[in-house]
Structures are given as structure tokens and as C-alpha cells.
């Protein structure tokens, strides 16, 4: 215990500032709400939440550029580990915290309009911030215990948020399915952790790795690892644990869909990256289970399931949900291409860079859907017909999101997909590369359908938009600008991603 207190020196615990900022603003929201529970001033609540998350995002950025989380021998301020190595703050955790915080900022800003006519706004923002606290904590987790707890901290508010529209059947159904599959998956995850503990007697990642290196019961460990894979797959909406995703994303309020499909997915991946690289390094855990091969199978299946199912959807939001599954498949390449001899920083960095870019473009796309829901134009592709005649700016931003998602060089998605492709090439996993290419080609088709509806199809009679919500517009346009700027500015992203990936 004294040791623990010693580590809590000032310089080290400030490393957790972004996470703390998120959590504290959640508490602040509760405070605001309890002071004036009846008013539900949307601007105030969203302002507090937004400022909190923005502060978190800015702090992470300052930390990243300031060299926090980078070992001193590489010119940084050193990696911070806290609470007996249970929590570690390195570049990777900062990188993912940045993704989460910036997505949350966008979502919160957008929600201020989206929630205009809803009650329980304070609870909504609190839950969003609590979930994001969990996610950013997940990015720093260095023990299976912390991982499980922060995973649950991220999940439990999410269940409630998905079912937030209590009188909307879709929302409730989505919440139910999300919750049930989530509960099942977390049980599988927990059981997997217990088996790993059974095999190694440790929960802290490095200790697990050390224990495995000293020789363990491979069967128990293998089953345990596979079950942990299941838990990760659930969180990242990867096959075969993706079944909740289409419904949850479709039924949830669109900002929440954006939040879940971007931030939550990123959190799931950071967990996976850290667990598998730190606790189960290929060279020691390979004897029990070749998890690289597992992820290869999952990646390919996920890409195909997500993209092919997306190709024939009628509703834009559901299409985006499936595309989100497909993108999980792409990011899985970051793990699946970690074959022997390959430069880990490049492969993993590719996955991380894609997640960051994806965070903006996917959030933007879902927020555009939120905008459409706000306008009440309907959910199908046909309902989007001719939107560009009324809202060219938002539609232009949406076009950037979609084409960037497809991998056209109009946004950062082009480079991040390319780095993933290069990862497959460098690791010799041709099949993954081929799947990436085939699915990218296919994805272009269904993304283009939205673009077509917005710009090319004639608007339905009487399509008239008279309200241009500032918050939603700000969020969408900001996401669009960032997505575009990530094309010329990709250097920064890939730089941090590769450097962070090399540290794990």
C-alpha cells in the first residue's frame, strides 16, 4: 500500500488527467442536474459535457505532442504506470483516449439539438461521459481485472443509452438485444479471464506473459484466450459476436450509434491490442493458441459479413451499422497481420490510424443520420433523395465521410486503408489483403448509393427543410473538415500511431 501511495506522485497521476476530466465532468453534470433538476437546460448540460470532453481531447493532444507516454530514451517524458502496474499511460492509451474524447465531443455537440424534445438530458450526458470514462480507462488498463471493470463501465451506460428512447420500440429492442448479447459476452469474457487466471495465477498483463513463458496448462490457457477473444470481438462488433450491432446501431438514437460504432469500437480494439501484445505475446502464447490465426479468420469473416450485408440494405443507418462491422474487420488486420518477423509498429499502427480516421468519418456519417432523423425525412435510401438540394453543405460533408469510408482519397480513410493494405503486404497475408480490396470495392457501391440519393435523385414532393440545427451542423461539418484534413495531415496520425504501437 505504501508503494502504491509513493507512485501517486504529482507528475504521474496527472497522466490520467484526460480520463479524470471525463469522469469529473460526468459528476459535474450530476451536480448541475441536482441543483436545477427541472430546467434541463440543454445548452448548459451539453456545454458542460462538451467542454469536459473537449478539454480531455485537448489534454491528450497536448500530452501527445509533449512527449508523454514516450520513453525518456526516445526523447519523451516516460511511460507512466500507476496502481501497481494496473494502469499504464503510454502513447497508445493517450492515442485512444484522444479518439474517444474527440468522438464524445462531436456526439455531445450534436446531441444538444438531437435531444431538444427529450427528457432526462442530464442523465443522457452523464451516461455518455461515464461510458467514455470507461473507454479511456480501458485504453490504460494493464490488468485483466481493470480491463473487465472498465469494459463494464463502458458497456453498462451504453445499454441504457441505446434504450434511451423509452417509448420507441426500436430503441428498446435495440437496447434489449445489445444488453443480452452484451451480458452473454461479458460472461464469456469473465470466464475466459478466470481460465487465464487458472492457468497463470496472474491478472496483470506482464505477469501473465511471464507466467506463460514459464510453462502453463495450454488447454486451459487456450480456451481462456479464445474466450477473451470473444469478449473483444463483442466490444468491437466483430464476427461472430457482431449480431447485436446492426440492431443496436439502427435502433439507438443516432448520436449514440455514432458513439458506439466509433468510440466503443476503438476502446474494444485498444483492449485487444494491449491484451494480446502484452499478456499473450505470440512467441510465448503461440504454443497454446495461434491467436494471430484466430484473428485472421475473424477479420476475413467480419469483412465479408459486414460489407456484403451492407450492400443490400434499405435503411441508411443499418447500412452504416453493417459497414461499421466491415470496418472492424479491416482494423482486425492490425492484429491478424502480426505474423512473425513483421514490423509490429507498422501493422498495429495501421490499425490504430484507421481507428482514428474512422472515429471522425464514421461519427460524422452517423451524425448526418442524426441530422436526417432530426429533420424527420425518414430512414431509407429513398428518403434521402434530393437532400442536397436543401442542405448542400451537410451533404457535401456526408459525401466526404462516405467516400473516405470507401477509401477514396478525399479523406484520411484512403491513407489508413492503404497502411492496412501495406500491413498485409509486408506480413505476406495475401488473403487478408485480397479481402480488404474486394470489400473496399464492394463498399464503394453501397456508400455511393447514399451519395446518389442525396445528390442525384430528385427530391420527393414537398421536401422542405426550414431548420438548420447549429449543434448538429457544427458537429457534422467539423467532422467533415477533420476527415478531409486527415488526408494531407495523415503524417501526424501515422507518426503517433506507429510510435505508440512500437511501445506495446
Name the segment binding other proteins (CB under 8 A); options: 112-120, 239-247, 275-283, 368-376: 239-247
CA distance 189 to 182: 10
With cell 493517450, the residue in question is 94
- First-last CA distance in the chain: 27
C-alpha cell of 82?
500507476
Q: Which residues pair with 80 in a beta bridge?
A: 89
Q: Which is closer to other proteins, CB of 9 or CB of 445?
A: 445
Q: Which is closer to other proteins, CB of 15 or CB of 348?
A: 348
**Rule CB under 8 A: is residue 442 a binding residue for other proteins?**
yes
Residues whose CB is less than 8 angstroms from the CB of residue 371 and which lie 6 or more positions away in sequence, other chains included: 110, 391, 394, 469, 472, 473, 476
Q: Which is closer to other proteins, CB of 116 or CB of 430?
A: 430
Name the segment binding other proteins (CB under 8 A); options: 23-31, 92-100, 286-294, 361-369: 286-294
Q: Which is closer to other proteins, CB of 108 or CB of 288?
A: 288
CA distance 323 to 311: 9
CA distance 482 to 38: 37
Least distance in angstroms from the C-beta of 194 to other proteins:
3
Interacting residue with other proteins among 169, 215, 341, 467 (CB under 8 A): 169
Name the segment binding other proteins (CB under 8 A); options: 22-30, 45-53, 475-483, 490-498: 490-498
Q: Which is closer to other proteins, CB of 51 or CB of 311?
A: 311
Separation in Å, CA 9 to CA 12, 136, 399, 403, 470: 6, 21, 48, 47, 43
Q: Which DSSP letter does residue 141 get?
A: B
The answer to whether the CB of 69 falls within 8 A of the CB of 94 is yes
Binding to other proteins (CB under 8 A) within 393-422 occurs at: 403, 406, 408-410, 414-415, 418-419, 421-422
Number of residues near other proteins (by CB under 8 A): 114
Name the segment binding other proteins (CB under 8 A); options: 42-50, 215-223, 256-264, 368-376: 215-223
Least distance in angstroms from the C-beta of 334 to other proteins:
13
Binding to other proteins (CB under 8 A) within 455-484 occurs at: 455-457
Residues whose CB is less than 8 angstroms from the CB of residue 421 and which lie 6 or more positions away in sequence, other chains included: 433, 436, 437
The pattern of x and - marking residues 51 through 90 that bind other proteins according to CB under 8 A reads ----------------------------------------
Binding to other proteins (CB under 8 A) within 242-281 occurs at: 243-244, 246-247, 250-251
**Rule CB under 8 A: is residue 172 a binding residue for other proteins?**
yes
The residue among 266, 297, 291, 264 whose CA lies nearest residue 276 is 291
The answer to whether the CB of 125 falls within 8 A of the CB of 180 is no
**Three-class DSSP labels, 268-292:** HHHHHHHHHHHHCCHHHHCCCCCHH
Least distance in angstroms from the C-beta of 442 to other proteins:
6
Binding to other proteins (CB under 8 A) within 132-161 occurs at: 144-145, 148-149, 152, 156, 159-160
Q: Which is closer to other proteins, CB of 198 or CB of 465?
A: 198
CA distance 484 to 404: 8
With cell 464492394, the residue in question is 442
Least distance in angstroms from the C-beta of 440 to other proteins:
7
Least distance in angstroms from the C-beta of 109 to other proteins:
24
**Rule CB under 8 A: is residue 342 a binding residue for other proteins?**
no
Interacting residue with other proteins among 190, 463, 465, 477 (CB under 8 A): 190
| Angle between helical axes of 265-274 and 144-162 (0-180°, round to 10) | 170
- Residue 161 is inside which H or E element, if any? helix 144-162
Burial of 141 (0-12, 13-18, 19+ CB in 10 A): buried
C-alpha cell of 118?
427529450
The pattern of x and - marking residues 347 through 386 that bind other proteins according to CB under 8 A reads ---x------------------------------------
Amino acid at each position: 500500500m505504501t508503494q502504491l501511495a509513493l507512485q501517486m506522485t504529482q507528475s504521474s497521476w496527472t497522466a490520467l488527467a484526460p480520463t479524470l476530466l471525463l469522469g469529473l465532468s460526468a459528476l459535474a453534470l450530476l451536480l448541475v442536474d441536482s441543483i436545477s433538476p427541472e430546467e434541463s437546460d440543454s445548452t448548459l448540460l451539453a456545454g458542460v459535457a462538451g467542454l469536459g470532453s473537449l478539454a480531455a481531447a485537448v489534454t491528450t493532444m497536448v500530452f501527445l505532442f509533449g512527449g508523454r507516454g514516450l520513453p525518456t530514451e526516445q526523447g519523451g517524458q516516460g511511460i507512466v504506470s500507476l496502481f501497481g502496474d494496473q494502469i499504464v499511460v503510454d502513447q497508445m492509451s493517450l492515442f485512444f483516449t484522444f479518439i474517444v474524447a474527440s468522438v464524445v465531443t462531436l456526439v455531445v455537440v450534436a446531441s444538444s439539438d438531437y435531444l431538444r424534445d427529450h427528457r432526462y438530458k442530464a442523465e443522457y450526458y452523464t451516461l455518455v461521459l461515464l461510458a467514455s470514462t470507461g473507454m479511456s480507462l480501458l485504453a490504460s488498463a494493464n490488468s485483466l481485472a481493470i480491463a473487465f471493470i472498465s469494459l463494464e463501465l463502458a458497456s453498462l451506460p451504453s445499454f441504457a443509452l441505446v434504450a434511451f428512447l423509452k417509448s420507441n420500440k426500436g430503441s428498446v429492442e435495440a437496447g434489449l438485444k445489445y444488453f443480452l448479447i452484451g451480458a452473454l459476452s461479458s460472461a464469456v469474457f469473465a470466464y475466459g479471464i478466470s481460465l487465464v487466471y487458472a492457468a497463470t495465477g496472474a491478472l496483470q498483463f506482464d505477469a501473465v506473459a511471464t507466467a506463460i513463458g514459464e510453462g502453463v496448462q495450454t488447454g486451459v490457457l487456450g480456451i481462456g484466450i479464445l474466450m477473451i477473444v470473444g469478449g473483444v470481438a463483442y466490444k468491437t462488433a466483430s464476427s461472430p459476436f457482431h449480431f447485436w450491432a446492426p440492431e443496436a446501431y439502427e435502433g439507438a438514437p443516432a448520436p449514440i450509434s455514432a458513439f458506439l460504432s466509433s468510440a466503443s469500437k476503438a476502446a474494444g480494439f485498444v483492449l485487444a491490442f494491449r491484451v494480446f501484445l502484452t499478456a499473450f505475446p505470440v512467441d510465448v502464447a503461440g504454443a497454446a493458441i495461434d491467436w494471430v490465426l484466430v484473428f485472421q479468420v475473424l477479420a476475413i469473416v467480419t469483412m465479408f459479413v459486414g460489407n456484403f450485408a451492407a450492400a443490400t440494405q434499405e435503411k441508411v443507418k443499418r447500412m452504416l451499422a453493417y459497414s461499421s462491422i466491415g470496418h472492424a474487420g479491416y482494423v482486425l488486420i492490425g492484429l491478424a497481420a502480426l505474423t512473425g518477423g513483421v514490423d509490429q509498429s507498422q501493422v498495429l499502427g495501421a490499425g490504430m490510424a484507421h481507428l482514428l480516421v474512422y472515429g471522425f468519418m464514421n461519427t460524422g456519417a452517423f451524425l448526418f443520420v442524426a441530422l436526417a432523423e432530426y429533420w424527420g425525412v425518414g430512414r431509407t435510401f429513398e428518403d434521402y433523395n434530393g437532400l442536397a438540394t436543401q442542405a448542400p453543405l451537410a451533404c457535401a460533408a456526408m459525401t466526404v465521410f462516405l467516400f473516405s469510408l470507401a477509401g477514396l482519397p478525399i479523406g484520411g480513410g484512403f491513407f489508413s486503408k492503404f497502411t492496412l493494405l501495406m500491413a498485409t503486404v509486408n506480413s505476406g497475408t495475401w488473403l487478408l489483403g485480397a479481402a480488404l480490396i474486394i470489400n473496399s470495392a464492394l463498399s464503394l457501391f453501397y456508400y455511393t448509393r447514399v451519395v446518389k440519393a442525396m445528390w442525384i435523385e430528385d427530391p420527393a414532393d414537398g421536401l422542405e427543410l426550414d431548420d438548420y440545427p447549429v449543434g448538429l451542423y457544427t458537429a457534422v461539418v467539423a467532422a467533415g473538415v477533420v476527415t478531409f484534413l486527415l488526408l494531407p495531415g495523415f503524417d501526424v496520425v501515422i507518426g503517433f500511431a506507429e510510435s505508440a504501437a512500437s511501445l506495446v
